Amino acid sequence: MSFSTEHRQKFEDLEFHLNNRDALRRQANGGNSVLFSYTPNEENEYINKAKELYADRAVFIDIAQLFVEFIDADGWDDFEAYYKDYQNTPHVVFKSEDPEPDLFKLIISAIERASDGGKIPMLIRTGVLSGTGIENVNIMEHQSVMTLSHSLVFFYPSKIEDDNLLFLNFKPASKYRCTLIK
């Protein structure tokens, strides 16, 4: 199947799910998210097409950009020292329980701002989450995401192998609390 035929079908499926939220919630076990799966080497093509199709209806939240903002907030030297102290438990750095800003909180805040502005929040460059301790299901099960006025869309570089979702083609990932477009 050519890329143009495949991407057209995936975007038609996305539009269907965005317009049928009751069905999405039933299929997503009460969740409010869509995982838009594609192979990592096709990421730019899918993101560019999404930006073309959803320019007026969505906010594209670039996780890589938020990652840089998170590091820049304290500066590289402080981040490096903190990360080295907790490199075996990266979730402590990127998704902590304390009230201090972290990457997870930046992501949730960006999603909430998009929704508050009446736009569909679409997460892009999600591959940067690898190694942070932040899993897709952590975001999908967050109370704010579960109650958004628009469904959250993850652009998700992955492959499906024997009905298993593999983030970045190698890391097992959750399909719970979402509808998967493959």
CATH number assigned to the domain comprising residue 12: 3.40.50
Res 1: pLDDT: 43
For the stretch 45-79, pLDDT in tens is 999 999 999 999 999 999 999 999 999 999 999 99
The answer, as to whether pTM is greater than 0.85, is yes
pLDDT at residue 167 tops 80: yes
- Indicate the burial class of 82 (C-beta count within 10 angstroms; 0-12, 13-18, 19 or more): middle
- What's the domain range around 34? 3-181
For the stretch 13-31, pLDDT in tens is 999 999 998 888 888 888 9
Rounded to whole angstroms, the Cα distance separating 155 from 66 reads 15
Q: Give 158's DSSP letter.
A: E
Q: How many domains does the chain have?
A: 1
